[in-house]
């Protein structure tokens, strides 16, 4: 299966458990690793034969800048379900959400949550079991 990656998309959102996160907001970084067949687009050189990454970016932006959630785990799941629900040609999506400046009194480069979801034959979306991860 081919892959399309969108790396380090930067958005501003109001997600978090603490009231100041919901009031002040902060940056979030999102990485997507999408699995789909890119063969037709590779041959045709036609954007209509692939998924338009500008549209995917706009969808992720809408989700991150949309209604706040408490956990970045939920935010990552919302992104995965949004992408897989919108683009039926995408078979799997690995989503990484980074909160680079969580409001903790410790120093580190941020908190990252990564999850992987796939589309089943019946169209439902489920987590990829650890045994299937590469």
Structure confidence by residue, pLDDT tens digits, 30-57: 999 999 999 999 999 999 999 999 999 9
Q: Which residues pair with 94 in a beta bridge?
A: 33, 116
- 127 in a structural domain: no
Planar angle of CA 1, 52, 38, nearest 5 degrees: 25
Taking the model in full, what pTM does it have? 0.92
- The CA distances from residue 30 to 41, 51, 72, 99, in Å, are 25, 18, 11, 9
Distance CA 58, CA 53 (A): 9
Q: Does the residue 76 lie in any domain?
A: yes
At 70, which CATH number?
3.30.1130.10
Q: Is the per-residue pLDDT at 133 higher than 70?
A: no
In a domain, 71, yes or no: yes
Domain assignment of residue 91, yes or no? yes
Is residue 100 one of the residues assigned to a domain? yes
As a whole number of angstroms, the distance between CA 82 and CA 95 comes to 11
Q: Is 28:99 a contact under the CB 8 Å cutoff?
A: yes
Q: Is residue 55 part of a domain?
A: yes
Instruction: List, by residue number, the catalytic residues.
Output: 99
> Could you tell me the residue range of the domain that residue 108 belongs to?
2-116
Query: Which phi and psi angles does 14 have, rounded to 5°?
Result: -120, 40
Q: Is residue 79 part of a domain?
A: yes
- 99 within some domain: yes
Q: For residue range 72-107, what is the model confidence (pLDDT) as tens digits?
A: 999 999 999 999 999 999 999 999 999 988 777 777
What is the count of structural domains for the chain? 1
């Amino acid at each position: 299966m081919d892959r399309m990656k969108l790396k380090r998309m930067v958005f501003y959102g109001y997600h978090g458990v603490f009231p100041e996160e919901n009031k002040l907001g902060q940056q979030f970084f999102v990485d997507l690793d999408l699995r789909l067949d890119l063969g037709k687009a590779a041959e045709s050189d036609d954007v209509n034969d692939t998924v338009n990454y500008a549209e995917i970016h706009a969808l992720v932006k809408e989700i991150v800048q949309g209604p706040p959630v408490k956990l970045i785990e939920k935010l990552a799941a919302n992104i995965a379900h949004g992408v897989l629900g919108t683009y039926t040609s995408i078979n799997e999506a690995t989503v990484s959400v980074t909160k680079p400046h969580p409001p903790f009194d410790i120093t580190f480069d941020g908190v990252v949550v990564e999850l992987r979801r796939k589309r089943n034959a019946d169209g439902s979306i489920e987590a990829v079991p650890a045994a299937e991860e590469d």
